[in-house]
Structure 1
Amino acid sequence: MREITLSDGKKIKVECLSCAIAGGIVEPDGGKVMETEFFHAHQDVIYPIRGLVILTSKRHVKGFDELTEREKSNYIDTLSKIRKAQRNVLGIENVYYFYNEDTPHHFHTWMIPRYDWMTRFGRSVESVKPVLQHARVKLNHEKNVQKVKKP
């Protein structure tokens, strides 16, 4: 068991946070965006940026190459649906996509929207870390978190 601190400061003990989220044991503070047979998408309000979505495999795999053909197809379809909603509902024109395999969690993709206010941190992949740090420190207040959680 690992002890994990959630964005609201609550500590929980779980074998795997992604399994707990996908299994409905833990509800992400930012809420569920959508769910399919193979994937779970949620907002991570530890970085309170409206439209920041994490798409996670339900099955405990670490890399894209470990997904079955059905999972790969569902992944692309789900990613596309979320991206379309980011554009059509939230007006997000640009998104950075990240996924890494050196994590204890499941295969997951971060969909990080690009807003005008982020330009002061640069306009490249290198700007993402300071943007996330800024959001975690400066935007992590009740009014903004509630705005991010708003459907």
Structure 2
Amino acid sequence: MKKITLSNGKTVEVECLSCALTSGLIEPDGGVVIETEYFHAHQDVAYPIKGLIILASKRHIKCFDELSKEEKIDYINILSKIRKAQRDVLGIKCVYYFYNEDTTHHFHTWMVPRYEWMYEFGRSVESVRPVLLHARNNMNSEENINDVMKAINDITKELNN
């Protein structure tokens, strides 16, 4: 078991954070954005940026090539649906997608939106880490958290209609 401190300050002991989230053992702040048979999506509130979505497989795997045929189809369909909602509901024009195989969690994709304020950190993929750290360290005001929670609610409504 690993002891993990969540973005809301609560500490949990779990084998795998992604398994705990996708199984419903831990409820992500703002709740589940959308869920399918194979995937679970939620806002990553550790980085309070509107529309920063994590899409995680429900099955504990590490690599993209481990997805079944059905999971691959579901993955691209749900990823596309989330991206459309990001654009339509939140006005997000550009998104960076990250997926890595050396994570301590299992297969998941980060959908990191690009907002105008982020360009002060650069325009390449190298700017994403400083943007995330800036958000974590400087954007936890009550007003911004309320904006993030409203965005979660709005995108959830759109995705589940």
Alignment partner of 1:122 is 2:122: yes
The 5 Å alignment of 1:1-151 reads 1-150=1-150, 151=153
1:30 Cα deviation after fit: 3.6
Aligned 8 A contact 1:97 1:111 in 2: yes
Partners of 1:74 and 1:140 in 2: CA distance: 34
TM-score (normalised: structure 2): 0.92
Aligned 8 A contact 1:46 1:140 in 2: no
Aligned to 2:157: none
Aligned length: 151
Greater fraction helix: 2
Residue ranges of structure 2 left out of the alignment (5+ in a row) = 154-161
Residue ranges of structure 1 left out of the alignment (5+ in a row) = none
1:141 Cα deviation after fit: 2.1
Per the alignment, in what secondary structure is the counterpart of residue 79 of structure 2? helix
Partners of 2:33 and 2:107 in 1: CA distance: 17
Partners of 2:134 and 2:72 in 1: CA distance: 33
What is the aligned-residue identity percentage?
69
Which 4+ stretches in 1 moved above 3 angstroms?
none
Per the alignment, in what secondary structure is the counterpart of residue 113 of structure 1? strand
